[in-house]
Chains A and B, each alone.
Chain A
Amino acid sequence: MEAVEVEEITRVFEPRRRSGTRVVALDEVSLTVPTGEIHGLLGPNGAGKTTLVKILSTVLLPTSGKARVLGHDVVDETEAVRPLIGIVFGGERGLYWRLSGRQNLEYWGALYKLSSREAKERAQQLLERVGMADKADERVEEYSRGMKQRLHLARGLMGDGKVLFLDEPTTGMDPLAAREFRALIGELRDEGRTILLATHDMVEAEMVCDRVTLIDRGKVIATESPRTLGQVLSRFQRIDVEGVPLVVLDEIRAIRGVASVTAVDGVGTRIEVDEEGATQLVLERLVSAGATSVRTSLPSLEEVYVQLIGERGMEI
């Protein structure tokens, strides 16, 4: 059985005030996630990721279309769906700030029908698992963003859900914590859980997911393996540099695989590369020309989209 099946889900938000506009947050989105998969939902701000996660977690009704979690309809069979899922919404809110982390978890355990002893035990296990055991009895309002995020994660696991919906679960985590988190995602999958991970972080999607669905403005653009995503990421690079003589820039422009060399306000010169290996040649040339302030960065999600879409001859 598929863990998650989404069939042509559309969600429209009607304006609340007369001056407001109607928003089509999801436009006939379909996707399936087999049991045991870590599935990424990748898209820029406003793409509709959170909207889809909320529909699947039964807290938002779709305007049209069907969705099932482990075979149960998320609109008509909420009572069957709810015990099977765990949700982690990102952000600072969504916790009782005046309570300790442990109290938050114990309360959540009771909502997932654990006895108070079971809730205490599981809270302790999860606090250790997300590295929060030593802060467990401090009030949440004293936690840093990253700590709150870990608590969110632990909370999402209190119910022992078979299908987990994670919405931007690493926002606010430092790189080390984010890495530990990704390892944890792997463990969760090994325990047989299915994970739908909404993120706008391409690197994260590439690192942890088995498959990634790219969405933009409410529409599915493609479902890719993370390898394809990785290839795009390694091919397309952006190099920002300052104070390089024009002659050198002209030489660089001639290097095969250099897509563009442009002056950018506040950055200096931006060199964009679209072929594997070209980055290295460009960097070597820059260094030999004595350039010191060189920064490479990944292309933005939008740029990757444009590339993927361009290669497939699709239109948005």
Chain B
Amino acid sequence: MRAFRAGFALELWIIRSNPDALMPLFTAPLFAIIFMAIVRQSGRPDLESDALMAPVLMTLLWVALQHAGTLMVGDRWQALLEPIIASPTSLASVLLGRIMSLMCFGLLSFFEVWAVGKLVFGVSIPFEHPVELFLTLVCTALAMAGLAVTFSALLVMTRNAYTFTNSTSFPLYLLGGVFVPVAILPDWIQPVSSILFVSWSSDLLRASVNEAPVESFWPRLGMVLLLGTASFAIGRVVLHYVLRRMRASGELAAA
């Protein structure tokens, strides 16, 4: 817990001194405008809140992949990885804390798209299920953080981390049902999607901002948490393996 807190505070300091990581907060409202425009054009008011939720998920995923995922790469380049590894704290928990810090900022995108909907298009998200909405957002952020730990560990081993994150984000948006519900994707994709917490998150998020009651909310939220925890667990294992390998090869230090 102390490690988590240390990571959380560290990232807050870093963001405060260098707000680059907040870039997606500029793009989220723009995406919201684009998606809303499309939905309006096709005359589907029933899809309006869906259109507003897509940029929120995109922002969270973007932050998880682009920023959180490259934390270790950055530390390695600044020769920080070795002293951190030599400390008695588990790197995975520190990373999780740092990523959650970033996620908290990512969650601000929800308020942005809400404002865009209201001010630009005059639609208001129906807050019929505030508790469900809140829990879905929080658990999604947690699960994203778990996923980002895995990415962080994998990316530090690749030579071109940025190409990798760029080429993974779009497939993830698709498979995660970020733009459109997974249900309308081809059948063979469904099993792949259903093991991704993102697809559960996006369905649940859409359900929470619609007027109809949210069906089997708790089991679905449980899936988000379960799959998110699993990604963190996988992240820890991958991290352990990666660190061992790097200690053997001498690659913890950037040349």
Contacts and interface: CB of A to CB of B under 8 A. Distances in A.
Interface stretch (A82-90, A128-136, A207-215, A259-267): A82-90
A159 interface: yes
B168 interface: no
A254 B87 CA distance: 59
A302 interface: no
B158 interface: no
B84 interface: yes
Contact of B82 (A82, A89, A98, A99): A89
A108 B89 CA distance: 10
A113 B247 contact: no
Contact of B87 (A103, A106, A112): A112
A111 B247 contact: no
B27 interface: no
Given A13-B250, A59-B85, A61-B247, A110 B18 contact: no
Given A60-B252, A112-B87, A99 B2 contact: no
A85 B83 CA distance: 11
A87 B18 CA distance: 28
Interface stretch (B5-13, B116-124, B179-187): B5-13
Given A58-B86, A113-B88, A93 B13 contact: no
* Chain B facing A: main interface SS: helix
A56 to B, nearest CB: 10
Contact of A93 (B2, B78, B85, B247): B78
A96 B85 contact: no
B80 A61 contact: no
A86 to B, nearest CB: 9
A60 B86 contact: no
A163 B79 CA distance: 21
B37 interface: no
Contact of A58 (B6, B78, B85): B85
Interface string A118-150: 000000000000000000000100000000000
B20 to A, nearest CB: 10
A112 B83 CA distance: 11
Contacts of B80: 93-96
Interface in A65-121: 79, 82-83, 85, 87, 89, 91, 93-99, 103, 106-108, 110-113, 115-116
A54 interface: yes
A112 B247 contact: no
Interface in B72-101: 78-80, 82-89, 94
Nearest to B254: A93
Contacts of A170: none
Interface residues of B, number: 28
A85 B9 CA distance: 24
B212 interface: no
Interface residues on chain A, size class: 35 or more
A246 B66 CA distance: 71
Given A61-B247, A89-B83, A96-B10, A111 B17 contact: no
Given A61-B247, A98-B18, A82 B79 contact: no
A79 B85 CA distance: 11
A111 B13 contact: no
B3 interface: yes
A57 interface: yes
A16 B17 CA distance: 36
Interface in B53-82: 78-80, 82
A57 B17 CA distance: 31
A110 B17 contact: no
Given A60-B252, A96-B78, A112 B88 contact: yes
Contacts of B82: 54, 57, 59, 89, 94
B131 interface: no
B82 to A, nearest CB: 4
Contacts of A97: 78
4 A-B pairs closest in CB distance: A110-B6, A93-B79, A111-B87, A98-B17
Interface of A: 13-14, 16, 54, 57-61, 79, 82-83, 85, 87, 89, 91, 93-99, 103, 106-108, 110-113, 115-116, 139, 155, 159
Interface of B: 2-3, 5-6, 9-10, 13-14, 17-18, 78-80, 82-89, 94, 247-250, 252-253
